[in-house]
């Protein structure tokens, strides 16, 4: 049986008594709600209240109207272009003005772990196909929670998560199992099995999820290990590897199923600056190779890095989304974000102490 849609009331999350949502549900059975009415019943407050705290925030630190969180990650409609881009509300199959579809979409996603731990607060986010994207933000803002929603380890309390246009919360169990094969994941510190050598760690997904013979598995594993510079490390155990080598072994394992989407959870954690830079270059090289070898009918590979490392973002990212207090503050091409006029984005990407982000 398919899971029930997760677009219902969030009563009990500590915002109100749920009457607003009950009224919205009652009215929706009679007539469609407008976007303004939907926003009023689903949002905990205004974007400004949620992102900028108390109302006495200094005027020069408050975002301009055009710098506040966007419904879509597209900043401005194209001028003189073809196609209908007047509305940027998220829906299945929506194309960006650049022509790149989203591999993953978050549509007004709310997630809480109890009444006092609201993590995602109406998150709208798109991760474009064929790009190296980054979700940047301070620690504890919900970046890893986003990853868990993408692969169906967590479900939104409200809203939806789409992978190639398909709703993850509403997938049947067997469809969810197949959908996860579209993903490769590089976990923090590689997350290798301690009882397996490098070869067996890398071969594990192929042995679990395919009917390939050992000879074919060996060819795939050898190729992936060569790509990440571990061609001579087949028999080494995880405790014999450096931190950077464990990361690269985890990267090889994430690639063996030839995924459409590769997720990197803090790939730079625990690495020195030089090895962080080398890993970033490796990510770019692998992505370029996958784009060059793209077969007809396949989705262009989408790489997504979850991090708060600004140097990695400058070197690697093609598309950046900045997450704060459960919402996207700003999102778009990397070069635009690094020249942003938004006070929070400017402070975070420059690492300055003065600005709206403090020690809270």
Domain boundaries, the chain: 19-75+87-182+259-350
pLDDT in tens, 234-245: 999 999 998 888
Q: Are 150 and 168 in contact (CB under 8 A)?
A: yes
- What is residue 46's predicted lDDT score, i.e. its pLDDT? 39
Q: What is the mean pLDDT of residues 321-331?
A: 87
pLDDT in tens, 64-97: 434 333 333 333 333 334 443 333 333 333 444 4
Q: What is the mean pLDDT of residues 282-310?
A: 89
Q: What is the mean pLDDT of residues 49-62?
A: 43
Half-sphere exposure of 292 (CA within 13 A, CB side): 6
Among candidates 201, 203, 205, 202, which has minimal Cα distance to 183? 205
pLDDT in tens, 172-209: 999 999 999 999 998 877 788 889 999 999 999 999 99
3-state secondary structure the chain: CCCCCCCCCCCCCCCCCCHHHHHHHHHHCCCCCCHHHHHHHHCCCCHHHHHHCCCCCCHHHCCCHHHCCCCCCCCCCCCCCCCCCCCCCCCCCCECCCCCEEEEEEEEEEEECCCCCEEEEEEEEEEECCCEEEEECCCCCCHHHHHHHHCCCCCCCEEEEEECCEECCCCCHHHHHHHHCCEEEECCCCCCCCCCCHHHHHHHHHHHHCCCCHHHHHHHHHHHHHHCCCCCCCCCCHHHCCHHHHHHHHHHHHHCCCCCEEEEECCCCCCCHHHHHHHHHHHHHHHHHHHHCCCCCCCCCEEEEEECCHHHHHHHCCEEEEEECCEEEEEEEHHHHCCCCCHHHHHHHHCCCCCCCCCC
Which band of pLDDT confidence, cut at 50, 70 and 90, is reported for residue 111?
A: very high
- The rounded distance, in Å, linking the Cα atoms of 105 and 167 is 9
- Percent of the chain past pLDDT 70, that is, above it, reads 69
Confidence check: pLDDT of 359 > 50: yes
CATH number of 19-75+87-182+259-350: 3.40.50.300
- What is residue 187's predicted lDDT score, i.e. its pLDDT? 85
- What is residue 16's predicted lDDT score, i.e. its pLDDT? 45
Q: What is the mean pLDDT of the chain?
A: 75
- What is residue 345's predicted lDDT score, i.e. its pLDDT? 86
- What is residue 267's predicted lDDT score, i.e. its pLDDT? 83
């Amino acid at each position: 049986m398919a899971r029930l849609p997760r677009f219902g009331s969030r009563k009990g999350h500590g915002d109100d008594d749920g009457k607003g949502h009950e009224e919205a549900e009652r009215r929706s059975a009679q007539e469609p709600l407008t976007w303004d009415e939907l926003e009023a019943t689903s949002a905990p407050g205004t974007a400004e209240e949620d992102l900028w705290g108390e109302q006495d925030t200094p005027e020069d630190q408050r975002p301009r109207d055009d710098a506040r969180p966007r419904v879509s990650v597209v900043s401005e409609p194209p001028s003189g272009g073809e196609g209908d881009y007047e509305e940027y509300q998220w829906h299945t199959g929506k194309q960006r003005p650049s022509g790149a579809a989203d591999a993953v979409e978050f549509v007004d996603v709310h997630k809480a772990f109890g009444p006092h731990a609201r993590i995602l607060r109406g998150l709208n986010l798109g991760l474009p196909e064929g790009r190296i994207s980054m979700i940047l933000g301070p620690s504890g803002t919900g970046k890893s929670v986003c990853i868990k929603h993408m692969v169906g380890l967590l479900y939104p309390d409200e809203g939806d998560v789409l992978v190639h246009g398909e709703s993850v919360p509403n997938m049947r169990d067997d469809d969810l199992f197949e959908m996860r094969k579209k993903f490769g994941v590089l976990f923090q510190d590689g997350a290798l099995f301690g009882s397996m050598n490098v070869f067996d760690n890398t071969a594990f997904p192929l042995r679990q999820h395919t009917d390939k013979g050992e000879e074919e598995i060996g060819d795939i594993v050898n190729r992936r290990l060569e790509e990440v510079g571990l061609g001579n490390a087949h028999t080494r155990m995880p405790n014999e590897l450096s931190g950077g080598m464990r990361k690269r072994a985890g990267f090889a394992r994430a690639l063996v199923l030839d995924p459409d989407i590769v997720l990197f959870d803090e790939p730079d954690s625990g690495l020195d600056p030089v090895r962080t830079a080398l890993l970033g270059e490796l990510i770019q090289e692998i992505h370029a190779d996958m784009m060059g070898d793209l077969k007809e009918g396949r989705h262009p590979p989408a790489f997504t890095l979850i991090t708060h490392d600004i140097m990695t973002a400058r070197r690697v990212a093609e598309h950046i989304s900045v997450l704060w207090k459960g919402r996207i503050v700003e999102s778009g091409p990397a070069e635009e974000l690094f020249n942003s006029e938004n006070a929070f984005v400017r402070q975070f990407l420059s690492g300055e102490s003065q600005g709206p982000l403090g020690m809270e």
